[in-house]
Amino acid sequence: MEKVKNPVKIVDLTFRDAHQSSIATRLRIEDMEPIAPEMDKVGFHAVEMWGGATFDVAHRFLNEDPWDRVRRLKKLMPNTPFQMLLRGQNLVGYRNYPDDVVEAFVKAACDVGIDIFRVFDALNDFRNFETSFKAIKECGKHIQGAICYSLTERKLGGPVYNIEYFVKHAKRLEDMGVDSIAIKDQAGLIAPYDAYHLFKALKETVKLPLELHTHYTSGMASMSVLKAIEAGVDIVDTAIAPFALRSAAPAIEPLIVALEGTERDTGLNLEKLFEIGKYFETIAPKYKEFLDTTKMAVIDTTVLMHQIPGGMTTNLVSQLKQANAINRLPEVHKKIAQTRRELGSPPLVTPSSQIVGSQAVLNVLFGDYKMVTNQTKDYVYGLYGQPPMPIDPEVQKKVLKGYPRGETPITCRAADLIEPELEKAKEATKGIAKDIYDVLIYALFPQTGMQFLKRKYGLEDSSD
């Protein structure tokens, strides 16, 4: 068959997002290595194999050097670009790091073999991209700017997250010099026709390659990916069947067949992927304990009802159970919409989903903002960045009353307030860390990082 002009390009998520979303990020390097050479032959546009939670989980739970994972896979997969997920100024952690740590981390990631950096910010505050973008550019690597997909209504539209919002943000990314743009639908909210209209509009406005990243959570992902393809999306993210579906990504195999013989034919070899899938089935049983087996359904219908991300519901339920108030879940669901609006309608993704969720529960249990979490205070003060809409002035006043840093929120880039930390990290790991990679494990995760380094070099003492 003649090669099609515009094949859909595929980014495979099996080594990162897919196992993060289905088996709590537990896939080990020794189960990736045997199949890596075969994965290298598929012809993926890229493999996302690092970043997100993998750095944390590898050193904390798997006793694996996260840097070593990239080096080892690179040897086995020299032909496929490596992609990582970077949480902007939060890197692969859960707080804003100072610029010197961001610069050193990005440089180290380039040095071990990351080629494409997908960078996102939970609030879509692009000031949180400035330092990492600059560092990636200096290393000559590919910057992919990601826009978090979010909704305030059941479908795309309304006063905040409408087509104009995403088009405007895509244009800004283009102006910032990115090499490609992704719509990052971490909660699996994007509906098929919304995906169609969104990518049509994006295609008309920006010239860069466009990618759709979505999750299977709500059950709509395969349909949405197909409609995005019809609208002209260049790249889509999938996983090998055993680690696909559930809260992970659409599977690659059915997509290949769906597109076969069309003008967007992927050209990928189904037989090869079938063999790779068989391999993953052989190693899957040891990870089965990490699968969510609390429900028969492999999709989460709450997402269709309330657009509340799956992980957030789990947290709400456990918080309410602790307070002996699980019967108030329907009230909390309603309260979330109000609390989120008052807090400037942020996308619901870690950490904003956590901030809005916990505060909504407290508002139901004790009355609106009678009790306020420290995270909510930091958020309202501006330490996470700027939300898409202004925070309700009354709520702002209540929340910041007596806040030690001040009662007037900051308007600068949050990281401008953070002192450099890299030299302190070098000092703290003196005599233990052998190189900058070791130092960075500590700089990002001081407690578990230090424990890991001691284990790595056989310095672990019994007091640990």
Binding positions for Co ion, rule: CB under 5 A: 17, 186
Q: Which residue is nearest to Co ion (CB)?
A: 17
Least distance to Co ion, CB of residue 215, Å? 6
- The nearer residue to Co ion, 212 or 441, going by C-beta atoms, is 212
- The nearer residue to Co ion, 144 or 186, going by C-beta atoms, is 186
Going by C-alpha positions, the residue among 431, 321, 440 that lies closest to residue 68 is 440
Would you say how long the chain is, in residues?
464
How far apart CA 91 and CA 101 sit, in angstroms, is 9
Q: Which residue has the tokens 């283009």?
A: 174
Q: What angle do CA 19, 23, 26 make, to 5 degrees?
A: 75
- The nearer residue to Co ion, 8 or 146, going by C-beta atoms, is 146
Least distance to Co ion, CB of residue 214, Å? 8
- The nearer residue to Co ion, 80 or 214, going by C-beta atoms, is 214
Query: What b-and-e string marks burial along 327-354, b requiring 16 or more CB atoms within 10 Å of the CB?
Result: ebeebbbebbbebbbbbbbbbbbbbbbb
- The nearer residue to Co ion, 132 or 186, going by C-beta atoms, is 186
Torsion, CA 265, CA 269, CA 274, CA 280, rounded to 10: -100
- The nearer residue to Co ion, 132 or 217, going by C-beta atoms, is 217
Least distance to Co ion, CB of residue 47, Å? 14
How far apart CA 392 and CA 386 sit, in angstroms, is 13
Write out the DSSP string of 332-375: HHHHHHHHHHHTT---S-TTHHHHHHHHHHHHHHHSTTTS--HH
Going by C-alpha positions, the residue among 246, 256, 257 that lies closest to residue 221 is 246
Preceding omega of 250 cis (within 30 degrees of 0): no
- The nearer residue to Co ion, 186 or 222, going by C-beta atoms, is 186
Write out the DSSP string of 107-175: HHHHHHT--EEEE--TT--GGGGHHHHHHHHHTTPEEEEEEE---SSSSS-SSSSSHHHHHHHHHHHHH
**Beta partners for residue 146, in sequence order:** 182
- Sign of the CA dihedral with 426 first, then 432, 438, and 444 last: negative
- The nearer residue to Co ion, 17 or 121, going by C-beta atoms, is 17
Least distance to Co ion, CB of residue 190, Å? 12
Least distance to Co ion, CB of residue 17, Å? 4
Least distance to Co ion, CB of residue 438, Å? 29
- The nearer residue to Co ion, 22 or 152, going by C-beta atoms, is 22
Least distance to Co ion, CB of residue 213, Å? 6
**Beta partners for residue 62, in sequence order:** none
Least distance to Co ion, CB of residue 20, Å? 8
How far apart CA 103 and CA 248 sit, in angstroms, is 30
User: For the chain, how big is the Rg over CA atoms in Å?
Assistant: 22
Least distance to Co ion, CB of residue 461, Å? 38
- The nearer residue to Co ion, 55 or 442, going by C-beta atoms, is 55
- The nearer residue to Co ion, 239 or 372, going by C-beta atoms, is 239
Least distance to Co ion, CB of residue 27, Å? 15
